[in-house]
Amino acid sequence: MYRYDEFDFQFVRERAEQFRGQVARRLAGELTEEEFKPLRLMNGLYLQLHSYMLRIAIPYGTLSARQLRKLGDIARRYDRGYGHFTTRQNLQLHWSQLPDVPDILLELADVEMNCIQTSGNNVRNISADPFAGAAAGELEDPRVLCEILRQWSTLHPEFSFLPRKFKICVIGTEEDRAALLIHDIAIKIIRNEKGETGYRVYVGGGLGRTPYLAEEIGAFIDKHDILSFLEATMRVYNEAGRRDNIHKARVKILVHQIGIPEMRRRVEEEFSEIRKQGTLEVPVHEMVRIAAYFAPPAFEKLADECPSYEQHLRENHDFAQWAKTNVHPHKMPGYAIVTISLKPIGKTPGDCSSEQMEGLADAMDALGQQEVRVTHEQNLVLPHMRKADLYALWQKLVPLELATPNCGLVTDIIACPGLDYCDLANARSIPIAQAIAKRFSDLDRQHDLGELKIKISGCINACGHHHVGHIGILGVDRKGVENYQILLGGSGAEDATLGEILGPGFDQQGIVDAVENVIGTYTTLRQNGERFLDTYRRVGPHPFKERLYAR
């Protein structure tokens, strides 16, 4: 993975000290809250319901064991002993105190981490496929570009006060495990007819109150041109994006106001100007230099069949159940990708205690694992496990409560922090996730239902990605009471679609029954192993609506 050199270290430490100065000016009354707010947000610090919340960047979702251990340590010493992994592959600490934050930033810098641009109207943490470097069929590891983009966008002088936040995502496979098209800019590594790899660029995705999937703006951008192309796109947005209404300020609104052809024309014009200057070209040797950091580990030459693994599968039912959903094919024979569920039944989706972080870091060290990934589905991934080590890993995960066998199933629910923590929320998300998980806790029933993605947001801002859930749930405030709307048919995968609201909302009890009702409709209508989403796409909303709202 990428390692800081002296320049990166100096940069993040100076940034932490700069924030120390800003905090001091705030506490001395030299900065008003209005002036301080964007400065703290650019360092990931929010004021939430109960306290300050610090959002720590996990660039492209990759962490080392050392970093994970440090996060556990920081959560224990400065916070309440746990953190929350988010749909943007970040970690949030919910109980920060303002005077501590500069110290936390310096401690993070020691392990090559920071909170730069995890909030604010700038380029946010760049997300990527959590299976990067491990997935079969990947053209290139997307994190190479992510790291180049991270450096380019860090304290970008022109784009630090954009109309609104700006999210970028990169993937290198046909399969989409990163919810690519809901980003402001989405980049897919592709190969052209000449066999060269380059980038297909999409613009204007985003959820919130006006959800859109990103549309193609660059069919094939040469690798050395990517910064020029992105800078062109962002300049068009910075100049023309709306600033009079925060709800209409994302680039998706600009794109849909002027249309993709006009957006493309403006970007192309700017792109050709920038290319003339040539200063943003990414030289091949820089790509090669960064790529070397992401070189895969030295894989052993293994047979794909692993007798000891097969034997454990036969002998241990619980292990076999876990492997069924949480172990995925790896590009190398004899290896596997493992998802570690942060969705124990009845607990908070995405939460991870200091003990769990440290315990997992120890397990990684013991099993020679360099990296763990954070997924937008709020789980963790060990990308390069030998099959022969899977049983040993599982045995270590069980006592840590990190072995819930539910990845991709109905209880693997995305939920934003909601009204339990968030200042923007209108309704709670976590208790709904917990109640649904409990209702469907029977593992055989979960397997019978197959892949089913439930995503819950506590407000229209859609941090819980409800628009792209097979079943989406949106919490709203109805005359002071929490109320939940249900959406069906969304997908954040390679077959991305936006779900549609089915009808009137439900109260806290009612929404769990409504989900069960909708799933019941699916089980009566499904044909030959169809997923919930496939059945919905085949039959449309009406059968679901009729049964759910029948009197």
Partner 1 sequence: MPQVLTANRLKAGEVAYWNRSAGWVDTLAEAEIMAPADAEAALTAAAEWVRKGEVVAPYLFDVRTDNGVIVPVKVREAIRAAGPSVRTDVGKQARNVSL
Partner 2 sequence: MLVKNGKIVEDAFTAVADGDPLPDGAVLVSLKRFQAESPALLARGAPLGVRLESADTPEILGEDLRSLALVVLHVNHFRDGRAFSWARLLRTRLGYRGEVRISGHVLLDQIAFYARVGADAFELPLNQPAEAVRAAFTEISNVYQPSVDGRPTIRDLRAARFPKTTLAPS
Residues of the shown chain interacting with partner 1 in the complex, contacts defined by CB under 8 A: 26-29, 33, 47-52, 80, 95-99, 348, 419-421, 425, 427-428, 430-431, 434, 477, 480-482
Q: Minimum distance between the CB of residue 166 and partner 2, rounded to whole angstroms?
A: 12
How far apart, in whole angstroms, are the C-alpha atoms of residue 78 and residue 42? Answer: 20
Q: Minimum distance between the CB of residue 5 and partner 2, rounded to whole angstroms?
A: 7
Which residue type sits at 433? A
How far apart, in whole angstroms, are the C-alpha atoms of residue 193 and residue 191? Answer: 7
Identify each DSSP E strand in 316-431 by its residue range.
327-329, 335-340, 351-353, 371-374, 380-386, 414-415
Near partner 2 in 28-87, by CB under 8 A: 35, 38-39
Residue 389 phi, psi (nearest 5): -100, 0
Q: Minimum distance between the CB of residue 26 and partner 1, rounded to whole angstroms?
A: 7
> Does 27 help bind partner 2 (rule: CB under 8 A)?
no
Q: Minimum distance between the CB of residue 397 and partner 1, rounded to whole angstroms?
A: 23
DSSP state of 221: E
How far apart, in whole angstroms, are the C-alpha atoms of residue 98 and residue 24? Answer: 10
How far apart, in whole angstroms, are the C-alpha atoms of residue 330 and residue 302? Answer: 12
Residue range at the interface with partner 2 (CB under 8 A); choices 2-10, 48-56, 201-209, 312-320: 2-10
Interface with partner 2: number of residues (CB under 8 A): 45
> Does 7 help bind partner 2 (rule: CB under 8 A)?
yes
Q: Minimum distance between the CB of residue 389 and partner 2, rounded to whole angstroms?
A: 23
Residue 127 phi, psi (nearest 5): -100, 160
Determine the length of the chain: 551
Task: Calculate ∠ Cα 502-435-516, nearest 5°.
Answer: 40
End-to-end CA distance of the chain: 57
Q: Minimum distance between the CB of residue 131 and partner 2, rounded to whole angstroms?
A: 22
Q: Using CB distances below 5 to 8 A depending on partner kind, what does residue 49 bind out of partner 1, partner 2, none?
A: partner 1
305 Cβ contact list (under 8 Å, min separation 6): none
How far apart, in whole angstroms, are the C-alpha atoms of residue 301 and residue 153? Answer: 39
Q: Using CB distances below 5 to 8 A depending on partner kind, what does residue 366 bind out of partner 1, partner 2, none?
A: none
How far apart, in whole angstroms, are the C-alpha atoms of residue 476 and residue 457? Answer: 9
Q: Minimum distance between the CB of residue 23 and partner 2, rounded to whole angstroms?
A: 12
Report the relative pairing of strands 335-340 and 351-353 from DSSP bridges. unpaired
* Number of helices (H), then strands (E), in the chain: 18, 20
How far apart, in whole angstroms, are the C-alpha atoms of residue 472 and residue 514? Answer: 12
Please identify, using beta-carbon distances, which residue of 139 and 280 lies nearer to partner 2: 280
DSSP state of 506: B
Q: Using CB distances below 5 to 8 A depending on partner kind, what does residue 159 bind out of partner 2, partner 1, none?
A: partner 2
Please identify, using beta-carbon distances, which residue of 228 and 348 lies nearer to partner 1: 348
For tokens 């995968």, the residue is: 493
Q: Using CB distances below 5 to 8 A depending on partner kind, what does residue 424 bind out of partner 1, partner 2, none?
A: none
Residue from the set 104, 162, 186, 473 that interacts with partner 2 by CB under 8 A: 162
Q: Minimum distance between the CB of residue 480 and partner 2, rounded to whole angstroms?
A: 32
Please identify, using beta-carbon distances, which residue of 126 and 414 lies nearer to partner 2: 126
How far apart, in whole angstroms, are the C-alpha atoms of residue 402 and residue 242? Answer: 44
Judge whether 488 and 536 are in contact, CB under 8 Å.
Answer: yes
Near partner 2 in 275-334, by CB under 8 A: 277, 279-280, 285-286, 288-290, 292-293
Q: Using CB distances below 5 to 8 A depending on partner kind, what does residue 50 bind out of partner 1, partner 2, none?
A: partner 1
- Identify the three-state secondary structure at position 220: strand
Q: Using CB distances below 5 to 8 A depending on partner kind, what does residue 243 bind out of partner 2, partner 1, none?
A: partner 2
What's the distance, CA 159 to chain centroid? 22
Residue range at the interface with partner 2 (CB under 8 A); choices 91-99, 234-242, 459-467, 533-541: 234-242
Please identify, using beta-carbon distances, which residue of 164 and 373 lies nearer to partner 2: 164
The first and second tokens of residue 360, run together, are 């997992």
What's the distance, CA 275 to chain centroid? 32
The first and second tokens of residue 20, run together, are 């120390």
Please identify, using beta-carbon distances, which residue of 135 and 290 lies nearer to partner 2: 290
Q: Using CB distances below 5 to 8 A depending on partner kind, what does residue 161 bind out of partner 2, partner 1, none?
A: partner 2
Contact letters for partner 2, residues 105-144 (x by CB under 8 A) = ----------------x-----------------------
Please identify, using beta-carbon distances, which residue of 121 and 429 lies nearer to partner 1: 429
Please identify, using beta-carbon distances, which residue of 21 and 259 lies nearer to partner 1: 21
Q: Minimum distance between the CB of residue 36 and partner 1, rounded to whole angstroms?
A: 9
Cβ neighbours around 393 below 10 Å, total: 25
- Binding residues for partner 2, rule: CB under 8 A, are 3, 5, 7-8, 10-11, 14-15, 17-18, 21-22, 35, 38-39, 121, 151-163, 227, 235, 238-239, 243, 273, 277, 279-280, 285-286, 288-290, 292-293
